[in-house]
Amino acid sequence: MLDSLYGNLPMWDKLLRLMARLRSPEGCPWDREQTHLSIRENLGEECGELLEAIDAGDDAMMREELGDVLLQVVFHARIAEEEGRFTVDDVLEGLCEKLIRRHPHVFGGARAENTEEALRFWKEAKAREADA
Evaluate if pTM is beyond 0.85. Answer: yes
Count of domains forming the chain: 1
Residue 37 lies in a domain: yes
Residue 130 lies in a domain: no
Residue 70 lies in a domain: yes
With beta carbons less than 8 A apart as the criterion, state whether 80 and 87 touch: yes
Residue 101 lies in a domain: no
CATH of the domain at 81: 1.10.287.1080
Q: How many CA atoms lie less than 13 Å away from 104 in the CB half-sphere? A: 13
Is the pLDDT at 118 greater than 90, yes or no? yes
pLDDT tens for 11-45 read 999 999 999 999 999 999 999 999 999 999 999 99
CA angle 62, 36, 88 (to 5 degrees): 70
Residue 95 lies in a domain: no
pLDDT tens for 53-94 read 999 999 999 999 999 999 999 999 999 999 999 999 999 999
CA angle 97, 101, 106 (to 5 degrees): 110
Which residues are CB-neighbours of 51 under 8 A, at least 6 positions away? none
Q: What domain range includes position 54?
A: 2-87
CA dist., res. 90 & res. 28, Å (int): 25
Residue 120 lies in a domain: no
